[in-house]
Structure 1
């Protein structure tokens, strides 16, 4: 079995292997480096439409990779 590091360069969390979509990776990376964010913050920073972000966040929540705290999303 191949083992992967749980910590990436400079102590950052490694990208979960189940993330396949480039958008999901982008959103996850944003949340992990910014210690969370709102949909509006992500839309402004990432240049994505809110409707697209809601779809990505829904998928990430189903995979237990992201949690929601009121209007903020954070990595699980």
Structure 2
């Protein structure tokens, strides 16, 4: 059971698509991940992940890092 002092990740209401929410939440939990790591974890193709990551980056929700992607 989680204590009330632990941070519970939340997904912004503006994110409508289930896959976008899933990618965003995964990055919140992992803190940083490569596209390949997200592909393996979520079972989504790179053709699906890359536009989602670009969209999240354009909205300022994630950033590109030396390793992969991370939430802002």
TM-score (ref. length: structure 1): 0.82
How many equivalent residue pairs? 68
| Structure with the higher fraction of residues in strand conformation | 1
The aligned residue for residue 60 of structure 1 is 56
Point out 4+ residue stretches in structure 1 off by more than 3 angstroms: none
What is the RMSD computed on CA atoms of the aligned residues?
1.5
Structure 1: runs of 5 or more not aligned: 1-9
Residue 70 of structure 1: how far off its partner (Å): 2.0
The answer to whether the 8 Å contact 2:62/2:69 transfers is yes
Structure 2: runs of 5 or more not aligned: 1-5
